[in-house]
Copies of this chain bind each other. A is one copy, B any other.
């Protein structure tokens, strides 16, 4: 975000808050930020605060930041929306906060994971816009338009249900697939030699950081459990086809799965 907002001339000065000194130095040298400050100083000197931490940390600190805010705008960019919206629901400065989720990410983390233009042409979600001051919403919408993102609006609870299907379950299957292979395939050299593009694309997400993902599964526990139960029951259908050698039904299951072409080009 910082890279594009600087390129577009929107952000002339970017202040960073970062406890990890290596990440702080790296963010400075990569030009992601111009200065590293304490949270209090950074909030005082900012017009816009982008809260980008693991979602449990965001939920903990968002009210304290709102306490420090006057006319500034705070937006978050976390993967769940209900918990953080609930955390600020009764805050006297609630209207300065905009709950958002730009739908882009990789399995990498830290300042070196920044990718220029990463958000372009992707969707971003704004939740509970009616709780937000008009000027705060307008500023955040302007930012996402500069990032060339497609804006969607929904309620936080709906957001959390949809992302359980679209994002969270993909991560669980990928973690579980990595554990399956690591458990059963003791000849790691064989995996290394043989791993094909299909394997890499389904297992890539298993490199994702637990500090980010444990809080996501914790906060979105009920939706994720719902989807995970359905997913296990879908896998059992494949298992049953193989056990019973029912290849006509296996064919049908795969043809049904091909229906995803309607949705993904």
Q: With the chains together, A12 CA to B63 CA distance in Å? A: 72
Within 228-261 of A, Cβ neighbours of B (below 8 Å) are at 228-232, 234-239, 242-243, 245, 247, 250-251, 253-261
Instruction: Count how many chain A residues have C-beta atoms less than 8 Å from C-beta atoms of the other chain.
Output: 92
Query: Which B residues are CB-close (under 8 A) to A209?
Result: 258
A225 engages B199 (CB within 8 Å): no
Partner of A162, one of B166, B190, B206, B247: B190
A181-225 CB mask vs B (1 if < 8 Å, else 0) is: 111110110111111111111111111111001100110010011
- Chain B interface: which of A69-77, A88-96, A102-110? A102-110
Question: What's the least CB distance linking A123 to chain B, in Å?
Answer: 5
Partner of A207, one of B225, B231, B245, B258: B258
Partner of A183, one of B174, B228, B234, B258: B234
Q: Is the interface of A mostly helix, strand, loop or mixed?
A: helix
A180 engages B230 (CB within 8 Å): yes
Question: What's the least CB distance linking A150 to chain B, in Å?
Answer: 7
A210 engages B152 (CB within 8 Å): no
Among A105, A182, A243, the one with the most B-chain Cβ atoms within 10 Å of its Cβ is: A182
